[in-house]
Structure 1
């Protein structure tokens, strides 16, 4: 196996295979699950809108891929819903079988100086998740200054996040290595066992390899496991499988 194939095999196991488009249908979700080739590698999760969680669960069960988690998003993508809406959405998603909730923080409030609101959304969402679902907190790093990326990451950790995630994939700048460096360094400094998810713009095995190398340099090799490190991606799987198919 080449070095690039090793990275590809690692990346697929850490992937949240994602479709979050307004045009999504049950067929979209079925096609997403059908794109998984177990002999080449199985992703950690699929990430879909809340109304498709049960469809994803069913499609995975039909292929005997129940080990693949189903993630969904809340307060997505603008981070501007009321806390009541966010919590209702969270509870509905868990009822439908969601294993992971990816919450967008009210990042515009953070930019305006309201750290308290961010902490409130994270804490309340974590409480709503209880023991039934993990909470992954999206800080929308591409919209934040370096200082605010660190602040948002710290607030997410303080609020009880299981993971801190870069982006929604719906703004001009999504995951970057620079933001990843800040976020992972902040996680490390906290001393807590918190995961990291790079989302948006990670499209090739070469891209993924850069993130894996950076994460390993900051957090150590043991961090590169699905319980602690994820990629949120839609196009990455195709390149991963193509790389693994190379003789």
Structure 2
């Protein structure tokens, strides 16, 4: 058993302790971690076998919240959990990383692509995870609670926002709104200048719908002379990745 007040060294032992106790740095007076924050700590434990390790933790005498974390780790699947362990970022400047549920298999595929092919370090996973990292509350009107699916650090240690759309008819305007909400929160946190790229990721061959198209990897509006689309209020061009 691990008790609050035990101060482990950094590394997998601290990851386990934070995930089980729900206390940052495993200290009794420290911040209470959310389930999403505990989940990102959890994947740091279990070198070479994250799911096997947390399958064992789930069956021990840990508290109900820790069991819930274990169940969520298991739901990530072996490949994603192992890749996340190798590439995650628990912090970025003032941000604390968090992991939410993945919406569908394509989101998991995209996450693996970002980690393995793009060399990204995931900070926020799933829209619930990104909401937690950026402090976007649920239940706001005008779609202000919507968040993108991934917040990651690039190889150059800058930020990237990625919204994933799996459907054949892509709701592009919704995706733009999700990216916009995240950019506005990053601006509040004085981190908008750290953003290197914003992107919508879709399945190859799917229709963007509305008055949108892709030219040279960027989102454009054909009805406006192929004008490149930016996030409102920012000069960031929106990229479109097809997988």
- The TM-score normalised by the length of structure 1 is 0.31
Q: Which has the larger radius of gyration?
A: 2
Relative to total residues, which structure has the larger helix share, 1 or 2? Answer: 1
- The TM-score normalised by the length of structure 2 is 0.31
